A and B are shown apart, each in its own frame.
Chain A
Amino acid sequence: MDFDRRDFLKIGAAVTAGAAIGPVASAMTGAEEGKRTGKRWGMVIDADKCSADCTACVDACRTENNVPHFDDPKLDIQWIRKIAFRPKGIEGAAERTFPAMCFHCENPPCAHVCPVAATFVRPDGIVQVDKHRCIGCRYCIIACPYKARSFVSSHVAPKEGDNTDVPVRTHGVVEKCTLCAHRIDKGEEPACVEACRKNATGAMVFGDLNDPVTEASALLRTGKARQLRADLGCEPGVYYMGL
């Protein structure tokens, strides 16, 4: 076979182009390759069951996680909050509410932008902030499309009556819902879900979304639950019904 200089250059160019394009192409198709398997903690919230005047989940979260209260609404820290809305297209529809917290996305923008890798995703799908490492730059607050994050703007010292399982957060870090990871590690469900089931209507269902036997995954299979702003591609782990 004749292998002249022209052939050599052709093959060389082809190999170089392949090496350059290959990883890019696989990264672009990576999003469609399927969701992560294994444990995936998440929640299904039925907005039809959520009553507008109930704050059981919010109160339980504040107590469980020692969330400080600042009077200035700009500085106040909210791990979970009630969002009010009116259904579209219905005349005189009553105002309804649903709770919203960190959605523990599978593609969390907050973790992607963190310059010190303080925000990370645990293998079970919980997005966590390592407050030891957080430098308080607040990129993540800007990146999060669901406004789930808060900045601790002044120091709140540990005090009597705090839940000793959860450290308080010092001035200058960003905090958010941890999905009560400390309770999950003990085999319990998050405080908001427990409060909703015991003191309210049980609108919140917590469980492993990848495990077919859990109630949460059964609700997902009904096809009625959907993510908020699924078009953003963050793959939230919190689904809503009745919205």
Chain B
Amino acid sequence: MNKGLLAVALFFAVLAFPLIYNGASAVTGMGKGSPVLEKGKGGKCVKETDWMRRNHMNMLKHTRDDSVRDGVPAGESGLAGCVSCHPKRGEFCDSCHSFVGASPECWRCHHYPV
């Protein structure tokens, strides 16, 4: 009986290993060795860092459609807004994107200094 309990406990311990291994970082969505971005100009983004980490792509797509199709200026929530505070793409977008293996196609057309 005790043996069985031990086996079950071991099973769940193995199951939970990734969470324990990553520790608290799993909660914030950041893995081991993830890049730390410097704060841009002004020291404050248009949204919280955690929110931005998950949703910046949706926000950019949303402002993109609004500005291209409806003529609503994207302002600081658009791509140009990013550039105004984070002048170098290599130290900003690319550092995370290369870490997670994402390759958005924004820079094939849009201007953002590396």
Contact = CB atoms under 8 A, between A and B. Distances in A.
Answer whether A and B are interacting partners: yes
Interface of A: 120, 122-124, 128, 130-132, 155, 157-158, 162, 164, 167-170, 185
A190 B71 CA distance: 17
A130 B69 contact: yes
A123 B111 contact: no
Interface in B52-74: 64-65, 68-69, 71, 73
B71 A123 contact: yes
B108 A170 contact: yes
B107 interface: yes
B111 A167 contact: yes
Contact of B107 (A158, A162, A169): A158
B69 A167 contact: no
Contacts of A167: 109-111
B105 interface: yes
A170 B109 CA distance: 6
A122 B109 contact: no
Contacts of B69: 120, 128, 130
B98 to A, nearest CB: 18
B104 to A, nearest CB: 12
A238 B83 CA distance: 36
4 smallest beta-carbon distances between A and B, as pairs: A167-B109, A164-B111, A170-B108, A167-B110
Interface string B87-104: 000000000000000000
A168 B68 contact: no
Nearest to A170: B108
Contacts of B108: 155, 157, 170
27 contacts: A120-B69, A123-B71, A124-B71, A128-B69, A130-B68, A130-B69, A131-B109, A132-B65, A132-B68, A155-B108, A157-B108, A158-B107, A158-B109, A158-B110, A158-B111, A162-B111, A164-B111, A167-B109, A167-B110, A167-B111, A168-B109, A168-B111, A170-B105, A170-B108, A170-B109, A185-B71, A185-B73
Contacts of A132: 64-65, 68
A158 B105 CA distance: 13
A35 to B, nearest CB: 20
Residue with the greatest number of chain A CB neighbours at <10 A, chosen from B68, B71, B109, B111 = B109
A70 B68 CA distance: 27
A122 B107 contact: no
A157 to B, nearest CB: 8
Given A158-B111, A170-B109, A185-B73, 8 more contacts: A120-B69, A122-B71, A123-B71, A128-B69, A130-B69, A132-B65, A158-B110, A162-B111
Nearest to B79: A167
B106 to A, nearest CB: 9
Nearest to B113: A164
